[in-house]
Every structure is written in C-alpha cells, then in structure tokens.
Amino acid sequence: MWSTISNFFASLRPSSPQSQLSQPSPSTVTQAVRPVTPVPAPPATAVVVLPISQESETLIVDEETGGQAYYEKTEMRPDCPGGMSGVTIGDGYDLGYSTIQDVANDWGPYLPADAVAALQSVVGIHGSPAKSHAAELHWVVVPWVAAQGVFLKKDVPKWTLTCQRDLPNFALLTPTCRGCIVSVAFNRGASFDLAGDRYVEMRSIKAHMIAKQFDQIPGDIIRMQRLWPVNGDLWKRRAHEAALFTKGLTEKDN
C-alpha cells in the first residue's frame, strides 16, 4: 500500500527540468529594472536683440551727453535732471529707476568699488530728494569710456528688448527707425500703455505700430513737443528723433 502511495506522488513530480517554471536570469532582471534615460528638454530659445543703426545710437548719445567733449567738461559727475528723475550718470543712466544689482552688474566692471557702493545708496530715489543726493555724490567720476561701455552693452540691448516686447511689428521697422523709438523710450520710459494726457502720443505710437502705419510715427513724436518749453533740450530732441525716423523710412535693408 505504501509503495502504491509513493508511486502516486512520484508521478506528480516533473519528469524533466524543462517542465519546471522558468526562472529569470540575473541579466534579465537587470534589464527589466534599468532606469529609462530622460529625454533632455530642448534648449531655451535665446531672444535676439534687433539691431539699431549707428546713426540712431549717435543720436541718443549726443542727446544724453552733448558729445564727448561736452561730457568730459561738464557731465562726468552725478547729476539730477529734475522732474521725477533720479540721480543720473553716464549716458542718461537713471539710478532712481535701477536696482542695487543693476548698478553692481552694469558699473562694477568700470568704476571703483567705493563709487559703485555710493551709487547703490541712491537707487530708487527720484524727484526732489534726488537733487541733494546728486550733490553729495559729486566726488564720483564716470569716465567717457565707462559711460559708453554701459550704454552700448547694457542700455541699448535693454531698451531695444523693451520696445520689441511692447510694440507689435517692431521687427518690421528699419534699424534707424527702431533706434529712434528706442531713443524716445530711453528718455520717456516704456509708457506706451500709460493713461493720461501726458502719454497720448506714446499710446498713438503703439496704435500706429499695430496698424503698421509707420509713416504716422514722426508726427506722434513731434506732437510730444507740447510737453516742454519751445527750443528747450527735450523740445529739440523730439524734432531730431522725428527727422531721423522720417529718414529711416527710406532705408532699404531691415
């Protein structure tokens, strides 16, 4: 009887190794749990700063400084132009509307550390209080080379990008016309959407940009003259910008 039972259970055992359940090999397990290599994200597209013409760059420099000879005679030290401006240095660089980090990044390569720290102390101050601070900082000297370095490497790209961002069809303008718009924005800020009578012409520039009525923009610039005394510096500047914009409309290369 026991032999019969033993024979029964023996008959239940697999007759060959091939009949057993197959076990995964170590290499198979390794392949199964191998981490998936993540697909790298595509690189961020760099924003291309549209060029402005040399003639329009010269316009801005001359309007902001009076040219190298005049600058080195009277404009190398901090000043306050008045109104809601802050302490201003170089080619119209307004510390009242800058940040501490801006000043460090922009002027650190050009000026001594004590001068940079002094300029940082008046960041964000504008209007009447800025006048007394400008007088206190009269010991700071900003050489012409430093002023032009910051203007060309920092200010021009910054304000060109601002105009690219705020004005539709900016890329369709010629380099000289773009430079004239940059000049206006550099002086008046990115005020193309601000409300109020003071910014009527700025809003009109944007409307004409949207409509691609570029030939109407010199008139917008000229009409801004109402805001300043006749034959004053800014009154003349608007005339220069309008005239150069009109000339730029005839340029062939974009």
Q: pLDDT at position 17, please?
A: 45
Q: pLDDT at position 186, please?
A: 92
At 180, list the tokens.
Answer: 């004239």
Q: How far apart are CA 240 and CA 254, in angstroms?
A: 21
| Sign of the Cα pseudo-torsion (27, 33, 39, 41, in order) | negative
At 197, list the tokens.
Answer: 């009578």
With a cut of 70, which residues of the chain have pLDDT below it? Answer: 1-45, 253-254
Q: How far apart are CA 9 and CA 21, in angstroms?
A: 19
Q: pLDDT at position 96, please?
A: 93
Q: How far apart are CA 121 and CA 114, in angstroms?
A: 11
At 140, list the tokens.
Answer: 């700071």
- Which CATH number is associated with domain 50-68+144-254? 1.10.530.40
What region, left, alpha or beta, does residue 88 occupy, with left being phi > 0 and alpha being psi -120 to 50 degrees?
A: beta
Q: How far is CA 209 from the centre of its chain?
A: 20
Q: pLDDT at position 164, please?
A: 97
User: CATH 1.10.530.40 occupies which residues in the chain?
Assistant: 50-68+144-254
Q: How far apart are CA 32 and CA 26, in angstroms?
A: 10
Q: pLDDT at position 44, please?
A: 53
Q: How far apart are CA 183 and CA 173, in angstroms?
A: 14
In this structure, the number of other CB atoms found within 10 A of the CB of residue 104 comes to: 15
Q: pLDDT at position 248, please?
A: 98
